[in-house]
Chains A and B, each alone.
Chain A
């Protein structure tokens, strides 16, 4: 997927921003914070995971999503988000 396709979704950007700040979250909690339904959230999470930006762990019925520490895309995103937040605070 091209970078413009990945970043074409406002929800995906919000998910990335959220996970950069919080660390990891389960699907229901991400959906609740975004005020969207579970299926939509899952769909976007899958896109980001397929791109290697996110990874998840399963604990029983719970799936916890976080940035994929081994992905250079994820690390670049983390730097971008932090730089953005930092610049906005100044």
Chain B
């Protein structure tokens, strides 16, 4: 039996559940979180904290809070405080306060019954457990929108005001509400809102360079040395950037690209593997988009596809694309169109979402337009275009 070869060193480092030891480009936010919880860490019974973390998909909200959770638990243990960080994805529990609280209780009593009491009783039970075991909890409510949508103000109010029903007792539960934006909070009534909106951390979209750093870091952890070329990382970062600066998406792309490389027994993860990975994750080329292109747009695109196929590069220049187009025109016995016309074709292809363009940084030879095909496997594109062109010629 042939031995299984893999370019992965440790693919768990690309798993969504992996919490990196160092968070790239989120240091200031991590420091701010630690500042917010500084007093709570020193005097846990005196003050519970409430923090809101917002940011688009893939901006690192979950990983930031989990990294923070690991760090603060370690710090608290050093100080002799029994602190637990509990991360709950509210959507997984259908936004139900009861199910969320049941999950938290089951951290302490795994076989706690699911029936026979209300959410309010469960909250009291949770506080009883925490008092008896002298535990403090930081409850991270991820996808907090789901809880607000499902339960409205009352549930949030209960969570934020629970200390009021237990005067002179230690504050046990701090909250971290994680959500995309503050719209969900705006739906809450004013008194509930006022209990929440004190500490807000907003995570901005990652820049392309930041995504390159993050993906590069994961590559070094997950893949064997020299198996992922810079071009591949850059392409994955470009695509992740075009998907709203979504680092998680970029990481998943890398994993899938690695799987394609393994399946084809390649020694390196080529940019084409990333393209295949994209097409397996997000809606890819629609045949109708290709069919609706004009004849010379198709010829131009076929030329671009062929250079990518031959060169295994992630990017090609407009000048190279023009040359490839000239060869295709010769093949189809067509007169080439002008540079200006081709520039317009490129804009159309970009508008349709088939190609993406980028102006390269100024160098010795000035600026030039780079073209890349983020989402479409080249072979599939070439096959489809050839079939369409032959049909039109006939």
Chain B residues within 8 Å of A59, by CB: 112, 125, 128-129
| A60 adjacent to B121 (CB under 8 Å) | yes
Q: Nearest-CB distance from A32 to chain B (Å)?
A: 10
Is A11 on the interface with B (CB-CB < 8 A)? no
Interface residues in B85-117 by Cβ distance below 8 A to A read: 109-113, 116-117
The answer, among B110, B111, B124, for a CB contact under 8 Å with A60, is B124
Bound CA–CA A38/B239 (angstroms):
60
Nearest CB in chain A to that of B110: its residue: A23
Bound CA–CA A24/B111 (angstroms):
7
Number of interface residues of A (CB under 8 A): 13
Contact with B along A49-90 (1 / 0, CB 8 A): 000000001011110100000000000000000000000000
The answer, among B109, B110, B116, for a CB contact under 8 Å with A61, is B116
Most buried by B among A23, A28, A59, A60: A59
| A62 adjacent to B116 (CB under 8 Å) | yes
Bound CA–CA A57/B129 (angstroms):
10
Bound CA–CA A59/B112 (angstroms):
10
The answer, among A23, A28, A57, for a CB contact under 8 Å with B113, is A28
Chain A residues within 8 Å of B109, by CB: 24, 64
Chain B residues within 8 Å of A23, by CB: 110-111
Chain A residues within 8 Å of B132, by CB: 57
Bound CA–CA A57/B112 (angstroms):
12
Bound CA–CA A62/B129 (angstroms):
13
Size bracket of the B interface: 10 to 19
The answer, among B113, B117, B124, B129, for a CB contact under 8 Å with A29, is B113
| A61 adjacent to B117 (CB under 8 Å) | yes
| A25 adjacent to B129 (CB under 8 Å) | no
Bound CA–CA A60/B121 (angstroms):
7
Q: Nearest-CB distance from A23 to chain B (Å)?
A: 6
Contact with A along B29-56 (1 / 0, CB 8 A): 0000000000000000000000000000
Question: In the complex where A59-B129, A60-B121, A62-B125 touch, is A29 in contact with B116 (Cβ < 8 A)?
Answer: no
| B116 adjacent to A64 (CB under 8 Å) | no
Bound CA–CA A64/B125 (angstroms):
12
Is A37 on the interface with B (CB-CB < 8 A)? no
Contact with B along A15-58 (1 / 0, CB 8 A): 00000001111101100000000000000000000000000010
Chain B residues within 8 Å of A57, by CB: 132
Bound CA–CA A23/B116 (angstroms):
20
Most buried by A among B113, B121, B129: B113
Bound CA–CA A25/B124 (angstroms):
19
Q: Nearest-CB distance from B82 to chain A (Å)?
A: 18
Chain B residues within 8 Å of A61, by CB: 116-117, 121
| B116 adjacent to A28 (CB under 8 Å) | yes
Q: Nearest-CB distance from B105 to chain A (Å)?
A: 8
| A62 adjacent to B110 (CB under 8 Å) | no
| B117 adjacent to A60 (CB under 8 Å) | yes
| A62 adjacent to B111 (CB under 8 Å) | no
Chain A residues within 8 Å of B111, by CB: 22-26, 29, 64
Q: Nearest-CB distance from A79 to chain B (Å)?
A: 22
Chain B residues within 8 Å of A62, by CB: 112-113, 116-117, 125
Bound CA–CA A16/B295 (angstroms):
79
Chain A residues within 8 Å of B124, by CB: 60
Chain B residues within 8 Å of A26, by CB: 111-113
Chain B residues within 8 Å of A25, by CB: 111
Question: In the complex where A59-B128, A59-B129 touch, is A64 in contact with B112 (Cβ < 8 A)?
Answer: yes
Chain A residues within 8 Å of B129, by CB: 59
Q: Nearest-CB distance from A8 to chain B (Å)?
A: 27
Nearest CB in chain B to that of A26: its residue: B113
Nearest CB in chain A to that of B132: its residue: A57
Bound CA–CA A24/B117 (angstroms):
18
Nearest CB in chain B to that of A59: its residue: B125
Bound CA–CA A62/B128 (angstroms):
13
8 closest cross-chain pairs (CB), A and B: A59-B125, A26-B113, A60-B121, A25-B111, A60-B125, A22-B111, A24-B111, A60-B117
- List residues of chain B with CB under 8 Å of any chain A CB: 109-113, 116-117, 121, 124-125, 128-129, 132
- List residues of chain A with CB under 8 Å of any chain B CB: 22-26, 28-29, 57, 59-62, 64
Given contacts A24-B111, A26-B111, A62-B112, 10 further A-B contacts (CB under 8 A): A26-B112, A28-B113, A29-B113, A59-B112, A60-B124, A61-B116, A61-B117, A61-B121, A62-B116, A64-B109
